[in-house]
Chain A
Amino acid sequence: MEEMVCIECPNGCVLTVENKDGEIIVGNYKCKKGITFAKTELLSPKRTISSIVRTVFPDIPVIPVRVSGDIPKDRIFDVIEEINQIRLDKRVGRGHIIIDNVLGLGVNIIATSSILINT
């Protein structure tokens, strides 16, 4: 039996994970998110990431961004590399898509602040 920390919420449940004849049995969870998390974590771990993109505007040199959904854990640095290529030259707001379908992973990179338009 393996132990695993669920990262879905601040509870941080220490899940127990067991492989019984090919079926994954999850224990010690406080909510159903724990079961999904444990199974995904075993088969193909996923994460969300946040970063910044550079802008051409001297008053606001960077704006915060994040992925709109989970990405495979082993692609984190590839996605960061894509984000680092951007030089934003339009004043866009929160929720604006900065990179559409990044690396074909099915999620977007979105702006998480309206700091460029509310200045």
Chain B
Amino acid sequence: MKEYDVIIIGGGPAGLASAISAKDEGKDILLIEREVRLGGILKQCIHDGFGLLRFNEKLSGPEYAEKYIDIFNEKKIKALTLTFVTEIVKEENGFTVSVVNRDGVTNLHTKTVILATGCRERTARQIFIHGTRPSGIFTAGTAQAFVNIYGQKPTKKCIILGSGDIGLIMARRLTLEGAEVKGVYEAKPTPSGLTRNVHQCLNDYNIPLHLSHTVTRVFGNSRLTAVEVSRVDENMAPIKGTEQIIECDALILSVGLIPENELAETLGAKLNERTKGPVCDNLYMTSVDGLFSCGNALHVNDLVDYVSENAAEAGKAAANYIKSERKLLEFSVGENLLYIVPQSIELESDLSAVTVYFRSSGDFNGKKFTIKVNGDTVFEKKYAFLRPPEMEKLVIDMNKFNLNMNSRIEFSII
């Protein structure tokens, strides 16, 4: 059986960055990708704005991905494309990874595994819309692939449900391709996507954004002919009498992303209720020894720059992994925090620069991100504004906190 130090599953931005940093540690690496090409979803994200933090450039998705693919190839890192992972089995000294591709079924052995499987879009099935089942209802990502990869126009006149970033980006993209986007409907009272995307994708093109509205029914037999939209109350329940019929040939969904963790679950990795990804420590190791997670499989990031960054850290940690007793100190999540990543720290690791990602649970102005150890405030940072769609990142020296297994460390926004 072939033997590796690190096997990385997924060839998107997270997989590429983790492979490169693991390779830099001088280890035997294999990356497994199910598609023909590396690059993941960035291949179809042709809009610009990627890489502002990492390269100080406004790159398109393909450019950002290809910068990493070029480095990946220069370093002669091994990749299997058009290859599916069918099973991962945990063993005494690592994992056996079963893959299937054109060569048949192969078993590979590795000391560590990095899950860089990204996230998936929530679909129509998951949001319970009533009515018939015509064609013309698809996710924003599917619409994006039609337009940007296959050069097909999936709609002439559509509405978009959900105001996630991909939905906003597609509203602009479809408008530029000559389609009429009749409006973006969002059940929540605030937009889900970045403010700048509301501005440059909707306002610039006079596409109306209807907050506190949702689609309550779809019409059409073979193809969608119309949708019914309704206003919703504060519990997001449709209000009777507010129904309105809108003629359109497509309903495009941008209703959320969920980290993809089918493999993590089969290995018994504990998932976090809030992030929907595995719980991890500051080395990005999950609750399963030797199993690492990064990028959007860990938690949905709003910038690819952050994905590359934490994936590179995960790659380095996986490459240098030595089996030992873990000394994990769990973080507690206090008020006004939606979530925090990581959820614990390994006390035996280097704590001089711990990266922490967090989102607030609501819109706040002038509040402080606060860390308390045993009730005493040890760190605080003031933010002019915090909003759930906008993730924040901090690098904190936790050596100063003098932590031990009995410490109680709590994060909150107050």
Name A's B-contacting residues (CB within 8 A). Answer: 5-7, 9-12, 14, 30, 47-52, 54, 61-62, 64-66, 73, 76-77, 80, 94, 112-115
Among A9, A48, A113, the residue within 8 A (CB) of B52 is A9
Most chain B beta-carbon contacts within 10 A, residue among A9, A51, A54, A113: A113
Given contacts A10-B52, A51-B176, A54-B151, contact A66 B46 (CB under 8 A): yes
Q: Closest chain A residue to B199 by CB distance?
A: A5
Most chain A beta-carbon contacts within 10 A, residue among B47, B62, B384: B62
Task: Give the interface size class of chain B.
Answer: 20 to 34
Instruction: Confirm or deny: B132 has a beta carbon within 8 angstroms of a beta carbon on chain A.
Output: no
Beyond the given A65-B46, A112-B62, A115-B43, could you list 12 further A-B residue pairs with CB under 8 A, ordered by the A residue number? Answer: A5-B195, A7-B199, A9-B196, A10-B196, A10-B390, A12-B199, A49-B176, A50-B47, A51-B46, A62-B148, A64-B62, A94-B66
Instruction: Confirm or deny: B239 has a beta carbon within 8 angstroms of a beta carbon on chain A.
Output: no
Binary interface encoding of chain B residues 172-196 relative to chain A, with 1 for a CB under 8 A from any of its CBs, else 0: 0000110000000000000000111
Q: Closest chain A residue to B46 by CB distance?
A: A64
Instruction: Confirm or deny: B150 has a beta carbon within 8 angstroms of a beta carbon on chain A.
Output: yes
- Return 5 A-B CB contacts under 8 Å, by A number: A5-B199, A50-B47, A50-B48, A94-B66, A115-B62
Give bound CA distance, A47 to B47, whole Å.
12
Q: In chain B between 148 and 183, which residues have their CB closer than 8 angstroms to a CB of chain A?
A: 148-151, 176-177
Give bound CA distance, A61 to B62, whole Å.
16
Give bound CA distance, A51 to B60, whole Å.
10
Pair B176/A73 contact, Cβ less than 8 Å:
no
Among A10, A73, A76, A112, the residue within 8 A (CB) of B63 is A112
Q: Closest chain B residue to A9 by CB distance?
A: B52
| Cβ–Cβ < 8 Å partners of A11 in chain B | 390
Instruction: Confirm or deny: B337 has a beta carbon within 8 angstroms of a beta carbon on chain A.
Output: no
User: Which secondary structure characterizes the binding site on chain B?
Assistant: mixed
Pair A94/B195 contact, Cβ less than 8 Å:
no
Most chain B beta-carbon contacts within 10 A, residue among A11, A50, A51, A113: A50
Q: How near does chain A come to B366, taking the closest CB pair, in angstroms?
A: 13
| Cβ–Cβ < 8 Å partners of B200 in chain A | 7, 47
| Cβ–Cβ < 8 Å partners of B176 in chain A | 49, 51, 76-77, 80
Among B66, B177, B196, the residue within 8 A (CB) of A114 is B66
Give bound CA distance, A94 to B43, whole Å.
13
Pair B66/A5 contact, Cβ less than 8 Å:
no
| Cβ–Cβ < 8 Å partners of A66 in chain B | 46, 48, 60
Q: How near does chain B come to A85, taking the closest CB pair, in angstroms?
A: 14
Q: How near does chain B come to A38, taking the closest CB pair, in angstroms?
A: 13
Pair A112/B46 contact, Cβ less than 8 Å:
yes
Binary interface encoding of chain B residues 50-75 relative to chain A, with 1 for a CB under 8 A from any of its CBs, else 0: 00100000111111001000000000
Q: How near does chain B come to A84, taking the closest CB pair, in angstroms?
A: 9
| Cβ–Cβ < 8 Å partners of A112 in chain B | 46, 59-60, 62-63
Q: Closest chain A residue to B198 by CB distance?
A: A5
| Cβ–Cβ < 8 Å partners of B61 in chain A | 64
